[in-house]
Amino acid sequence: MDRISFTVLLTTAGDLVTTATGILPDPGPADLAGQLGTAVLHALLPAWRKPRVKARTRKNPTSKYGPNAGQHPQNAQTYTVHAEITFFENGLASRSRR
């Protein structure tokens, strides 16, 4: 399962749906993998993954963000917004063009 490409699977399924192929069974022997399975099997990803070049490390304790840690508000703050909306029945007066 980890060698199957999701992109190949998705594009093949989309192509099969948009072209409406494989709706009626072929008169020959049954193809157990089908067109979708055949496309995925022909485009399998490599069996091995590239090894890590560098080992995982902990976050640098001398980070520039360290002194500001913990200075955000501990509780949610409440804000009140007041808005006034004015509707003009005749619209706004046009400005003079100079």
Domain ranges, ordered by start, for the chain: 1-22+31-49
Q: Which residues are CB-contacts of 38 (< 8 A; sequence separation ≥ 6)?
A: 31
Residue 89: the pLDDT is 79
Question: What are 82's two structure tokens?
Answer: 């007041």
CA distance 35 to 37: 6
Q: Any long-range contacts for 20-25 (C-beta under 8 Å, 24+ apart)?
A: none
Mean pLDDT for 39-58 is: 77
Query: In this predicted structure, what is the pLDDT of residue 82?
Result: 92
Angle, CA 40 vertex, CA 34 and CA 43 arms, to 5°: 140
pLDDT of residue 6: 85
- Examine the pLDDT at 57 and tell me if it is beyond 70: no
Query: How much is the pTM?
Result: 0.41
Rg (alpha carbons) of the chain, rounded to whole number: 31
